[in-house]
Every structure is written in structure tokens, then in C-alpha cells.
Structure 1
Amino acid sequence: MRSLKVIKIGGNVIDNPEKLQSFLSDFAAIEGPKILIHGGGKIATKLSTELGIEAKLIDGRRITDEDTLRVVTMVYGGLINKNIVASLQKYQCNAIGLTGADANIICAKKRPVKKIFSKEMNQAIDLDYGFVGDLDKSSVDAASLCKLLESGFTPVFSAITHDGKGQLLNTNADTIASILAASLVKQYETSLIYCFEKSGVLMDVNDESSLIESINPSVYSDLKKNGIINEGMIPKLDNAFEAIENGVKEVFIGKSDALTGLNQNNFGTRLTM
């Protein structure tokens, strides 16, 4: 069975043109089939401010209203995605830029209204995230995706999906990466790689030398119990272990400029069962 690498690049790298170009050069050099998923960085927020569209937050949770969806679609699916594709072509990687709507590859479900207790309002409220998509095992059309891979294309997905009824949805890029990797385990031996600005999962978030080289579910449980893993990292690791439970061979979390270390098994934190 052929190996496939599903790689997600974080927003902080996208915000830095020099680091992004270095990463894309390393990504293009990876042999064999591969998929890239990217977020949006701060560009969408900057453009929203310039257009006078105020970010809507409820208890720290971002809401994707109609105006915000227009902006993130333009930025994620247009500006960022096509610039990444153009750069990969420069590095002789035959990339094709996609949203989940293209070829009906990723069909999401609009996140349902959820009842929460709002600290701001000091009462229970119905929280509507707006045009946000959630994914499950049935979300991906693996056959269509495989056709692209088998034709020699490198798919580059933005964090935009659709609901199959004509509605685009803003969707978490980490989750897209996890679901894509898990959906292809019958066709490929898949590895999932999350690239961002840190060296990996750290014992001390302020100390790059405190890298945790390997994590299994038992170690993960202890790290959470002892408060070593912060809130921002927990959803990423939850996605990672869910992917492994669904057949993904291994998951790596590491620094974008160390991607070449994958070939020497010397990249960030490795997650396994």
C-alpha cells in the first residue's frame, strides 16, 4: 500500500511570507502523494476590519455570520489558496486549489444551535455559531479525492466546505486534515502532520527545548490531568488521536521549518496508539 502524507499548515506561518515560502519548498520536495490543508491566519481578520465588519464573539467563541463568511471565503478559498498553489507550481509541485465544495469532496453539516451558560450574560443562552460546518466519517468523498491523487495532482484545501444544498461553511482546518487522513486509510497508508510555529508538544510552552517526543493515549491523559497541555493544544490532539483510532498510521505535530526531518523520523512530537 502506498503512503500518503496529509499536512496541515497553521495560520501563524501563513502570516509570514518568508516562512511560508520555505515551508512550501520543503512540502513540494516530499515524494509521493500528499495533501495540504491551510487555515487563514490574520489576513481575514485584517480585511474584515478594513471593510468595517466587526468580529462577533460570544464567551470567546467566534461566530461566522453572513458577512464574515463572505470574507473568509474570499481570503481562504481565494487569496491564500491561490497564492499557495502558484508557489507550489513554482516548486514543480502540480497543485490544485480546492474547497470542500469542489467535486463534492467534503460535505459538512451546519453546526446546530447549542445551549450554553454565558458568563458574560450570567444566564443560559442558545448559541448559534452561524455558518460553521462540522464533519464526521461520512463527510468525505474518498473516491473523487483518490482520482485527483492518482492523476498526479496535489490537492490544496482551504478551510471552506459546503452542506450539499448550496451553502458554504467555515470549517476548522485541523478537523478537515484529520477527517481527510482517516477517509483514505483503505487506499493509502496515511500519516497526518500538523505544522505550526512550535517545535511540537512542549512540557513548557515557553521552552522550545522541552519537546515531548512521543505521546500515546495514556501519556496524553496524564499530561491533561497535570495541566501541562494548554487549552489551545487539546482540540488538535483530540483530532489527532481520533484520526489514529480511525486507521491513520501516525500523527506528527511540529515546526513548519523542520518538515524535512520527517524523512529521518526527526520531526516534532509523534502520536501513536
Structure 2
Amino acid sequence: MREVLKIFKIGGGIIDDAAQLNQFLAALAQVPGRKVLVHGGGKGASQMLQDLGIAPQMVQGRRITDAATLDVVTMFYAGKTNKQVVAGLQARGVNALGLSGADGNVIRATKRPVREIDYGFVGDLDEHSINADLLQQLLDAGLMPVFCAITHDGQGQLLNTNADTIASSLARALASFYEVELHFCFEKDGVLADINDETSIIPQITPGQYQELKTSGVIAAGMVPKLDNAFAALDAGVERVVIENALKINEPVKTILCRS
């Protein structure tokens, strides 16, 4: 039986709240076995841009990253945020190692081509982007990689890459070495059957059930892209995907997506 690897992704809601971030890191430190953390940037980067007189630009929740914005988000994501998370884990006895994609050439991205929208210095990933061998070495050495949302193109250019995409790509690449669980952690306790009822958690969803829930409109539109990516990860060899509350990762309440 292969060893389990748990990959956790947290978003800006947790990053923006110091108390909640500390609560999450304390819970994460209690999770046994090998694990990886991927974090987004939160609203702090937008605030820093505004403080510097740079207007943040967002299209459908994705950041337009021109050269000035890239400088700021690199400082905020790969610097301040990443190192605060790593320091918080070290304080709790977890030997964490903060990484951008450029470190060790661990995640190499391709600059997104200009189509209807020019996203600027935004990186896309493919099946060759992840240096899974290096990650296995780091995990074997007892380290916990902590990734920010900054990658590189191998030619000296840093790129801003969606944190959900990074987490999914890591899970797929490492599925050949481990039994991978991909955990998307946010403010809800799981996928809700009734958006107005916080207790209506759907405990398990198979691909067939997912199609029924989408067709019937039970799953809210905002959750569909995340779940589409989650089931794509399952198709690519990830063992299971967990949708859960970032503050309750060691509690049984959650939604588990599985192949069958």
C-alpha cells in the first residue's frame, strides 16, 4: 500500500485573518504524515498595490498582472505571506520550507497567451510543469513544502499562477508516487445541498452524482469550476478530493469527492 500524501490549499479568506490563519496552522500541524501546503495571497496584495498608487485589476476573479503588479505580488506572496506561514508552522514543530516555483525549478509555467484578455505575467501549467522528483526528495527529507502562487518560465521571468491550479497540478504529478488526497479548504464545511442551509453538507459525491447535482442546479454556479477541476484531478490519478472548512480539517464534517 502506498503512503498517503495530503495536499492542502487555503485561500485569501484565511490569509487575511491572522487569528484564523493561526488556528488553521495549529490544526495542520496535528495532521500526521506527509503533507504539502499551497496558499493564495488574499486581499493584502490589492491593499499594497493601492498603497503604492497601483490600481488592482481583476477579471472574473483573476488578477491582471502587469510588470508593476508582478513586483508587488511577488513581494507579498513569496515574501511576507509565505514566510509568515512558514514561521507559524515552524513554531508548531513542523519543518516547513517556503517555495516559489522558481526555487529548485520546482514549478515551471508558460506565460498565458493573449486572447480576448491580456492577463500579463500570468503563468499556466501543464503535465510537465512540476518537478515531482525534487518534491519527493524534500518530503523524504522530512520537509513540508509550502508554496505561494509565484512560478517561473525557466528563462528568468517570474509569473503569477492561480493557487488552485498549482494545488491540482501538484496532486496530479505526485499521484505516481503517493496516494494523494487534495484538500480545498475554505469558509464552508463542505459542498452544500442548500446554499441557505449551512448544515446541509453533502458527505460524498461521485462523478455520476455530480452531474445530477449540476443538472438539477443544486450546486451553486460559483462552486462548479472548483469541482470540475477536482473531478479532473481524480481522473488524472488523485485518490480523493476533500472540500472542507479550513478551521475544521481534523473534524469529520466535510465533502469527499471520489471516483466511484
With the shorter chain as reference, the TM-score category is over 0.9
Equivalent residue letter for 2:183 = I
Confirm whether residue 70 of structure 1 aligns to residue 71 of structure 2.
yes
For residues 38 and 163 of structure 2, the distance between their equivalents in structure 1, rounded to whole angstroms, comes to: 7
Q: What is residue 158 of structure 2 aligned with on the other side?
A: 168
For residues 156 and 61 of structure 1, the distance between their equivalents in structure 2, rounded to whole angstroms, comes to: 22
Report matched runs for 1:1-273 at 5 Å: 1-57=2-58, 62-114=63-115, 126-261=116-251, 266-273=252-259
Decide whether the 8 Å contact of 1:77 with 1:159 is kept in 2.
yes
Decide whether the 8 Å contact of 1:252 with 1:267 is kept in 2.
no
Residue by residue over 1:205-251, the C-alpha shift from the partner in whole angstroms, topping out at 9 and shown as x without a partner, is 33211111111222222222233323322221122111111111100
For residues 7 and 65 of structure 2, the distance between their equivalents in structure 1, rounded to whole angstroms, comes to: 26
1:172 Cα offset (Å): 0.8
For residues 203 and 8 of structure 2, the distance between their equivalents in structure 1, rounded to whole angstroms, comes to: 19
For residues 57 and 38 of structure 1, the distance between their equivalents in structure 2, rounded to whole angstroms, comes to: 19
The farther-off stretch of 169-178 and 50-59 is 50-59
For residues 142 and 62 of structure 1, the distance between their equivalents in structure 2, rounded to whole angstroms, comes to: 27
Q: What TM-score do you get using the length of structure 2 for normalisation?
A: 0.95
Equivalent residue letter for 1:233 = M
1:58 Cα offset (Å): 5.0
Equivalent residue letter for 1:144 = L
Q: What TM-score do you get using the length of structure 1 for normalisation?
A: 0.91
Query: Structure 2 vs 1, CA of residues 230 and 152 (structure 1 numbering), >3 Å: closer, same or farther?
Result: same
Over 6 Å off, 4+ runs: none
Number of positions where the alignment pairs a residue of Structure 1 with one of Structure 2:
258
For residues 27 and 59 of structure 1, the distance between their equivalents in structure 2, rounded to whole angstroms, comes to: 30
1:83 Cα offset (Å): 0.2
For residues 198 and 174 of structure 1, the distance between their equivalents in structure 2, rounded to whole angstroms, comes to: 17
Q: Is the partner of 1:176 in helix, strand or coil?
A: helix
Identity %: 53
Query: Structure 2 vs 1, CA of residues 12 and 206 (structure 1 numbering), >3 Å: closer, same or farther?
Result: farther
Query: Structure 2 vs 1, CA of residues 267 and 161 (structure 1 numbering), >3 Å: closer, same or farther?
Result: farther
For structure 1, the residue ranges without an aligned partner over 5 or more in a row are 115-125
Please, what is the CA RMSD of the aligned residues? 1.4
